[in-house]
Amino acid sequence: MKIKKFQGKSFKEVLEIVKNEMGPDAVILSTSSKKEPFSNNSYVEVTAAIDDSEAFYQDSLNSRLTTGVDHEVFKEIERLKIEVSLLRESITKLFPCLNDISKRGLYNFLIKNNVEPYLALMLIERANDMNELRTAIEKDLKICQNNFDEEKGFVFYGLPGVGKTTTIYKIGQILRTNNQKIMLLSLDSRISSVAYIKELALKLKCEAKFVKDSKELYKVMHKEIDRKKILIDTAGDANISIARQLKNLLKDMPVKKCLVMDASMSLGSSIRVLTTMDTASVDCISFSKIDLAQTYGNLYNLSVLSGKPVSFITSGAYEHPEARVFPPETITNLVIGGASEN
């Protein structure tokens, strides 16, 4: 086996040297980027190998043939390895920060937590360690100016099953604990939804009304908005079309129009929600089912990509003893540490 190191200005240049000296059957063992100690100029070093024994080559070829891998497949694998090396070199040139071992560790940490790769790259451009990463995430997150319990009320939008009604119950519990009067309004006329809202009203000891159209909704809100906190449930559909229907009606009403996002959904599914609905009809977003999420990077992704401030995060099922409402700042702790605040 003949092993030798080659150097040049780029991987492509070194690869040509290797091919000219060792031939097309040479195997790339390793590649690395280095700097000359005095001039500080960068160069690429490649370690390549080839067996110059015909007998060894034939034995190796026979071995591969008997195991179902022919010589052409072996050469194709080597070609792919070279292409991967070229791709790696291109990426490190585009993003020099990945040459830094500590930054590469931060990048891998973010990727494992499902932060989108291009968002992760932008983060590590501003961070050299975990503390700086925390600061960078905090700067990127948009947070609602008021706490959720300081708002006049909310109208909740979201896909079917995302947890809008359960979110109303959790918010209502906290408002009642703070001795605030609340009213539940529902635009969802389905029998199951009506029964659910009535049950919540009994548990929260508050009034519940079911409105048939936007005109009736406006009348009730105009009458009660200064006396009670109003929590409005809506029927979900694939395009969340109700948000567009209520856009003009609610523009002068002091309630937050909140899009509820399922924290356990994939980024692709979440992005489809943002692209199919009229996000101009929404003031803020919130995340439900945080206890079901496997990773938390998607909370950061959606906070940035939606362009909307986060109002709150919820966990736990309806009436579950561990059901909680967390402040939006919890997202940073979840991404960095993977745990909710106590």
pLDDT attached to residue 97: 58
Q: What is the pLDDT of residue 261?
A: 95
Report the SS3 class of residue 252: coil
Tell me the average pLDDT of the chain: 83
| Close Cβ partners of 99 (under 8 Å, ≥ 6 residues apart) | 33, 92
CB 130 within 8 A of CB 106: yes
Average pLDDT over residues 140-168: 93
Q: Tell me the pLDDT band of 54, cut-offs 50, 70 and 90.
A: very low
**Predicted pLDDT at 134:** 94
What integer pLDDT is reported at residue 82 of this predicted model?
62
Q: Is the pLDDT of residue 94 over 60?
A: no
Q: What is the pLDDT of residues 104-120, one digit of tens each?
A: 888 889 999 999 988 99
Residue 20 has a CB neighbour count (10 Å cut-off) of 8
Q: What is the pTM of this model?
A: 0.71
Residue 63 above 80 pLDDT? Answer: no
Supply angle C-alpha 36, 126, 41, rounded to 5.
10
Confidence of residue 341 (pLDDT cuts 50, 70, 90): very low
Among the listed ranges 126-130, 287-291, 320-324, which one has the minimum average pLDDT value? Answer: 320-324
The rounded distance, in Å, linking the Cα atoms of 50 and 75 is 13
**Average pLDDT in the 140-155 region?**
94
Over range 207-214, report the average pLDDT: 92
- In this model, does residue 133 exceed pLDDT 90? yes
- Cβ-based neighbour number of residue 143 at 10 Å: 16
Residue 295 CA to residue 338 CA, distance in Å, equals 8
Residue 81 pLDDT level (bands cut at 50, 70, 90): low
User: 174: part of which helix (H) or strand (E)?
Assistant: helix 164-177
Which residues lie closer than 8 Å to 153 by C-beta, 6 or more apart?
225, 228, 229, 230, 231, 232, 254, 255, 256
**Of the candidate ranges 67-71, 130-134, 327-331, 337-341, the one whose mean pLDDT is the lowest:** 67-71
Residue 319 is predicted with a pLDDT of 74
Q: Give one DSSP letter per residue of 62-91, joined into a string.
A: HHHHHTT--HHHHHHHHHHHHHHHHHHHHH
In Å, how far from its chain's centre is CA 335? 10
Instruction: Judge whether residue 146 has pLDDT over 90.
Output: yes
In the chain the first and final C-alpha atoms are separated, in Å, by 60
The predicted structure's pLDDT at residue 201: 95
Q: What is the mean pLDDT of residues 309-332?
A: 88
More confident of the two residues 238 and 210: 210
Of 162 and 34, the one with more pLDDT: 162
Q: Where does the pLDDT of residue 39 fall: very low under 50, low under 70, confident under 90, or very high at 90 and above?
A: low
* Mean pLDDT value across residues 272-295: 91
- Given a contact cutoff of 8 angstroms between Cβ atoms, the answer to whether 156 and 230 are in contact is no
Has residue 206 got a pLDDT over 90? yes
pLDDT cut 70: percent of the chain above it: 80
212 or 46: which leads in pLDDT: 212
* pLDDT higher than threshold 80 for residue 149: yes
Q: Is the pLDDT of residue 91 over 80?
A: no
Percent of the chain past pLDDT 90, that is, above it, reads: 48
* Mean pLDDT, range 127-146, rounded to an integer: 93
